Amino acid sequence: MKMKIYSLLLAMTLIIVSSCDLDLLDDPNVPSIDTANPTYITTRIQVDFARFFEATGFHGMRMTRMINQNQNNYQSAYVAVTFNPIWLRAYQDILNDIKLLEQLAEAGDINYDYHLGIARTLRAYVLMTLTDVFGEVPWSEALDPLTTRSPKVDSGEDVYQAALASLQQAKASFGGTRPVVLPVDLFYANDQAKWLKLISTLELKYHLNRRLVDPTGSRAAINSLVEADNFIGDGEDFVFRYGTSLNDPDSRHPRFAATYTAGGGDYQSTWYMFNLIEEGPKPFDDPRVRYYLYRQVIANPTDPDKLRCLGEIAPGHYLAGGYPFCLPGTRGYWGRDHLNNEGIPPDGLERTVWGLYPAGGRFDNDSATPVNNPSLGNQGAGIQPILLSAFVDFMLAEAVQEGGANGDAKELLLSGVSKHLNYVRAFAENSNESGVVESFDPKEDFDDKVASYLTYIENEFESSNAPMRVIGREYWLSLYGNGIESYNLYRRTGQPSGMQPGLLADVGQFPRSYLYPNDYMVTNINANQRAFTDRVFWDNNPAGFIY
């Protein structure tokens, strides 16, 4: 039922935006103060927010080896036009719509506090994320084109402060009298307590990212948040849920839609798969691997025409570093090494693809059949894992281990791992694949795997001379589908260290931030392009810190 409602909401949002009888001088796709409906505007903000998260995090997943990074060096992989969708979604859609919503609320007599609470919370996330990936971005002059057509950038610190102020505004909006007119809340069904917990969780994210530039202030703020103990918990995860409709608008998870129609899609990362299966650093499979990934074949290919690296020798720096090359193991986990720019052979119905979690695809029960049918698996009813309760524990573990905050890093690590393993399982149990999952991986067997996994991680943490690497690796493995937090984690801590390098010995400098989009560069006379080596304000780690 939720999926049908979501599909209907998408359609209604597009209809209300495009069917207004506007003056011909107005853009028919942009509602004005005279024609806009706050409820539909709030719905559109939420849908656009999910698109913003997807577009922004996709690059972070590539750079942190969650999925394959194509091209053979970073400078070829990323050009300014690559980042146009992020900028457009943030400024033209989300931030402009929130400004309009605030104007509507101020001009009318109806209480739209919940609409504003949702919008202002999402605005804070967008502002923090723009700063996290672009560094200095326009804000104070950004949304008034009649006054300033070429807005200047604000400092990253100032935009972060604006994000924190937006969270405080959101808190005040939710703290007022419950309005008679409620928005369509795609995240928390207008549960005020959950939104307030999300705000506290975003404050944790804010202060953790500032840990390197303000260690004392960050530690004090995080300790205060820990004492208040109002973070999202089990059942309060901040996720965007997709539907199963193929019709326009397509409500399915974008990764499913790109894969389960004709096969193919993203190449999975050899390094990420290596860390998930028994050939990796652990003596057993990660309990989530069959939920994350679906193998269309369960034995390694042997034809170099389909997988060219089969006829090649591993690069010297791979051999010297002990990195997997070409294939991780022998069981058909077919992806690509980091910064592999080979062409695309006819392997779309053989390579490993996105599985049940989070993309809404198939659970891997060794069936080894092509994924060229949109009725397979959970039919695209996946999620965007934006902030899970498990992530809170990993963030706190880092704050304790690296920032001196109050708490027990080991217990927080184990809690984060346990929560995420069980979250993935619960997602599967509530999917179309539940019967397949239970028959192949019964709950009692899964629980045994979780117990063994936690014992292994506890022993590894206690014996490690680099405990942050254990925390970082486990957080990274739990972030599948979330490239925003994995990119932040990697730049903030350098973890997980020892990442698989590119195939070439020299792949250029790792992008410490994204380039400004081409659309921004050609329309703003005050724009000056960033360099890949430019760091965002909270990243004071040295040059060459990560690769």
| Residue 25 contacts residue 40 (beta carbons within 8 Å) | no
Distance CA 517, CA 484 (A): 17
Q: pLDDT-derived band of residue 176, with 50, 70 and 90 as boundaries? A: confident
Helical (H) or strand (E) element with 390? helix 389-403
> DSSP strand E in 351-418: where?
353-354, 383-387
Residue 247 has a pLDDT of: 87
What is the 3-state composition of the chain as percent helix, strand, coil, each rounded to the nearest 5? 50, 5, 50
pLDDT in tens, 321-336: 999 999 999 999 999 9
Q: Is the pLDDT of residue 310 over 80?
A: yes
Taking each helix axis from N to C end, the angle separating 443-463 and 467-478, rounded to the nearest 10 degrees, works out to 150
- Going from the C-alpha of 413 to that of each of 208, 292, 467, 478, the distances in angstroms are 16, 21, 10, 11
> DSSP strand E in 109-206: where?
137-138, 153-154
| Residue 81 contacts residue 518 (beta carbons within 8 Å) | yes
Distance CA 295, CA 350 (A): 7
Residue 269 has a pLDDT of: 98
Q: Which tokens is 537 given?
A: 């304000």
The closest of 379, 411, 381 to 396, measured between CA atoms, is: 411
Residue 35 has a pLDDT of: 74
Higher pLDDT: 146 or 519? It is 519
Residue 14 has a pLDDT of: 33
Residue 4 has a pLDDT of: 38
The closest of 97, 141, 143 to 119, measured between CA atoms, is: 97
Beta-bridged to residue 67, according to DSSP, are: 268
Residue 394 has a pLDDT of: 99
Q: Is the pLDDT of residue 400 over 50?
A: yes
The amino acid occupying position 489 is L
Helical (H) or strand (E) element with 239? strand 238-241
Topology classification of domain 26-235+509-523: 1.25.40
pLDDT in tens, 11-65: 334 333 332 322 223 444 555 666 789 999 999 999 999 999 999 999 999 999 9
Distance CA 353, CA 335 (A): 9
In a 3-state reduction of DSSP, which class is residue 36?
A: coil
pLDDT in tens, 401-418: 999 999 999 999 999 999
List of residues 6+ apart from 425 with CB closer than 8 A: 287, 291, 443, 446
In our burial notation (b when 16+ CB lie closer than 10 A, e otherwise), range 46-85 reads bbbbbbbbbbbbbbbbbbbbbbbbbbbbbeebbebebbeb
Q: What average pLDDT score do residues 93-109 get?
A: 94
User: In this structure, what DSSP letter does residue 312 have?
Assistant: S
User: In this structure, what DSSP letter does residue 336 have?
Assistant: B
Q: Which tokens is 70 given?
A: 């194509």
In a 3-state reduction of DSSP, which class is residue 293?
A: strand
In the numeric block, the tokens 């990936």 are attached to: 133
Compute and round to an integer the Cα radius of gyration of the chain: 23
Residue 219 has a pLDDT of: 98
Q: pLDDT-derived band of residue 71, with 50, 70 and 90 as boundaries? A: very high
| Residue 475 contacts residue 461 (beta carbons within 8 Å) | no
Q: Which tokens is 417 given?
A: 């791992």
Distance CA 483, CA 466 (A): 24
In the numeric block, the tokens 């560069």 are attached to: 521
| Residue 400 contacts residue 406 (beta carbons within 8 Å) | yes
Beta-bridged to residue 124, according to DSSP, are: none
The amino acid occupying position 428 is A
Q: What average pLDDT score do residues 228-244 get?
A: 97
pLDDT in tens, 457-470: 999 999 999 999 99
Q: pLDDT-derived band of residue 361, with 50, 70 and 90 as boundaries? A: very high
The amino acid occupying position 244 is T
CA dihedral 430, 231, 413, 65 (to 10 degrees): 70
Q: pLDDT-derived band of residue 137, with 50, 70 and 90 as boundaries? A: very high
Reported residue count of the chain is 547
Alpha-carbon 238 to chain mean position = 11
Please report, for the chain, the start and end positions of each structural domain, with discontinuous segments joined by +: 26-235+509-523
The closest of 510, 505, 516 to 532, measured between CA atoms, is: 510
| Residue 173 contacts residue 120 (beta carbons within 8 Å) | yes
Q: Is the pLDDT of residue 386 over 70?
A: yes
| Residue 492 contacts residue 211 (beta carbons within 8 Å) | yes
Distance CA 330, CA 465 (A): 31
| Residue 214 contacts residue 543 (beta carbons within 8 Å) | no
Average pLDDT, the chain: 93
